[in-house]
Amino acid sequence: MTKERKIDRRTLYTINIIKDSFLDLINQKTYTQINVAELCRQADITRSTFYLHFDNLTDVLNNVLDDAFLFNQSTSLSTLPESQPLTIDLLRENESLLPACQRIADSSKYRQLLMDPSLSEYIIGRIIAHEKDKIVPSIQKRTGLNKNEAELLFIYSINGSFAINKRHHFIKDDAWYQELQLLNTFTSGGYNSLEVNKK
């Protein structure tokens, strides 16, 4: 977590330089190959300046992921009304319905970060932590499942969504939209089955 201090324009500039330099390095190598000294060279700052703003490299990673999640505050697929058919056209017109990892990938600056094999599990964990409180209750309401059961379905869907998006290198082409429609039809069928059993 970024250390608590007054955020003036210069401080904000330095923090952004560090995060941008981190993303520049991620475009060149994997997360496990990056260290604080290298990041400081890339950002053209001293180590003491780095530690004024961040505790370690994971702290920078978390801040970058938080930046990515900032434009993911709206509805997602799990909160789509059951009566709404999920078509490719609907997905194209309503970006907020896309899975969190795909919405993040809309910004090319985060794409390589999401493709980093050493970070997949960690990023999935962050997505789950970020979206869980919004999505799990909607699954419970729709299906009548208890919290643990709804969370299990949510974790399953996030892992599957991430895997499919990674397979497409987080690029939304026609093939991606067709696969997403198929998978969501499958998921909706499962939800509908649980709804019938609830009645």
Render pLDDT for 127-149 as a digit per residue (tens, 0 to 9).
888 889 988 998 898 889 999 99
Instruction: Please report which confidence band the pLDDT of residue 79 belongs to, taking 50, 70 and 90 as the band edges.
Output: very low
Q: What is the dihedral sign for C-alpha 27, 95, 85, 145?
A: positive
Q: For residues 62 and 39, what is the distance between their CA atoms, to the nearest angstrom?
A: 15
- Residue 76, pLDDT above cutoff 80: no
Assign a CATH topology to domain 9-68: Arc Repressor Mutant, subunit A (1.10.10)
pLDDT at 89: 60
The pTM assigned to this predicted structure is: 0.79
| In the predicted structure, residue 70 carries a pLDDT above the cut 50 | yes
Q: Domain ranges in the chain?
A: 9-68, 73-198
Q: Among 10-24, 53-67, 99-113, whose mean pLDDT is lowest?
A: 99-113
Neighbouring CB atoms inside 10 A of 123's CB total 21
Please state, in angstroms and rounded to a whole number, the distance separating the CA atoms of residues 167 and 111: 12
Give the mean model confidence (pLDDT) for residues 89-98: 55
C-alpha span between 57 and 62 (Å, rounded)? 9
On the question of pLDDT at 121 being above 70, the answer is yes
Q: Which of 166, 169, 175, 188 is nearest to 97 (CA)?
A: 188
Kindly report the average pLDDT of the chain as a whole number. Answer: 82
157 has a pLDDT exceeding 60: yes
User: For position 40, what pLDDT does the model report?
Assistant: 98
pLDDT band at 3 (very low <50, low <70, confident <90, very high): low
- The string of pLDDT tens digits covering residues 51-63 is 999 999 999 999 9
Please state the separation of Cα 123 from the chain's center in Å: 7
**Comparing 27-41, 71-85, 119-133, 145-159, which segment has the lowest mean pLDDT?**
71-85
Tell whether the model's pLDDT for residue 72 goes beyond 70: no
